[in-house]
Chains A and B, each alone.
Chain A
Amino acid sequence: MRMMVVVRATRDSEAGILPTRQLLAEMGRFNEDLVKAGILLAGEGLQSSANGARVRFSGGKRTVIDGPFAETRELIAGFWLWQVRSLDEAIEWVKRCPNPFDGESEIEIRQVFEAEDFGEALAPELREQVSRLRGES
Chain B
Amino acid sequence: MGNITMRDAFFDRLYKVAQKNRNIIIMNADMGAPSLDKFKKHLSGQFINVGIAEENMVNVAAGLTLGGKKVFIYAIMPFVTSRCYEMIKINMSLMNIPITAVGVGAGFSYDESGPTHHSTEDIAIMRALPNMTIFSPSDSVMAAQCAVMSCKISGPSYIRLDRHMLPGIYNQNHDFSDGLTSLKNGKDLCIISTGNMVYRAMEVSKKLADCGINAGVIDLYRIKPVNAELLLRNIKQARAVVTLEEHLISGGMGSAVAEILIDNNKTIPIKRIGIQDKYYYAYGGRKNIQFLCGLDADNITKTIIDWFKKQRKTVYGKKS
- A and B physically associate: no
